[in-house]
Structure 1
Amino acid sequence: MSFVQEFREFAIKGNVIDLAVGVIIGGAFGKIVDSVVKDLIMPVVGLVFGKLDFSNLFIPLGAVPEGIAPSLTAYRDAGVPVFAYGSFITIALNFLILAFIIFLMIKQINRIKREAPAAPEVQAEPAEEVVLLREIRDSLKK
């Protein structure tokens, strides 16, 4: 079998295709969750804590050149090292929400699997020796 044929077999297997679909859907789902966190949740959290832009919370760790606007983007563009804890909190919250949603999805999938009716058991044919022994037993009873 040639290298190309082996690769083709590998690439066409169901698991690889399932994985590719999962990665694509996961990427799109990640963008949705990111938008929920960034556009819906973090503004409310920022309002509660009195900050308008929660992701812009940071502490400059180096000397700040004069004339630079005090924003995370401006400091990063100027090469000032920053401790961007607001961005970290946003990403951590994003992760927690995503993990919670996946937990709920898996929980529902497991519930649906448990509720599926069990297939009726098919009784296996007895071995030939068992059938012969039963015939002998039945003939002795007569």
Structure 2
Amino acid sequence: MLAAGDLAITWGDNPHYWSRNSIEDSRFPEGAELLSVCWFEINGSISTCKLSSMTRYKAYLVFKLGARFYGFTNERVEATVRLSGTEGLQRTVFLHAEVEDVQNDYRYPVERGDGWLELELGEYFNERGEDGQLEIRIFHFDGSWKRGVIIEGIEIRPN
């Protein structure tokens, strides 16, 4: 799992927009809490040589909705999982939705047994264990302000 501290979060080092601190029930010493932004972007990467060959992996955003959560309800967020240097497949996901649209191939958060939410971002097949970077990106910008998402990290696990 890529911990929040290992992720490149746009404005993540600015204490006006994000707070980096310990989070209850997290397996990591530090998480990231969104205080207020209108440009939401998180990037992470892992070397594919750390992944088993001939294995399909899925990437999940692991997060919670804080008490001051605002701005993501029914908002489409774009997610991409790709090998560096390739285009990859962009997928529409929702961090929070009042009603799930089952007719489209959208992804919605699922509550885990540990109390966190996980949101499937995409998948990757590591054929021969190529030496490259698996890149994960979550992006949303519409000019409206958002807050209250608590990020634990991005989990990459075999499907």
| TM-score interval for Structure 1 and Structure 2 normalised by the shorter chain | under 0.3
The structure that is strand-richer by fraction is 2
The structure that is helix-richer by fraction is 1
Q: Which has the higher contact order (CA 8 A, sep 6+)?
A: 2
Q: Structure 2 length as normaliser, TM-score? A: 0.16
Q: Structure 1 length as normaliser, TM-score? A: 0.18
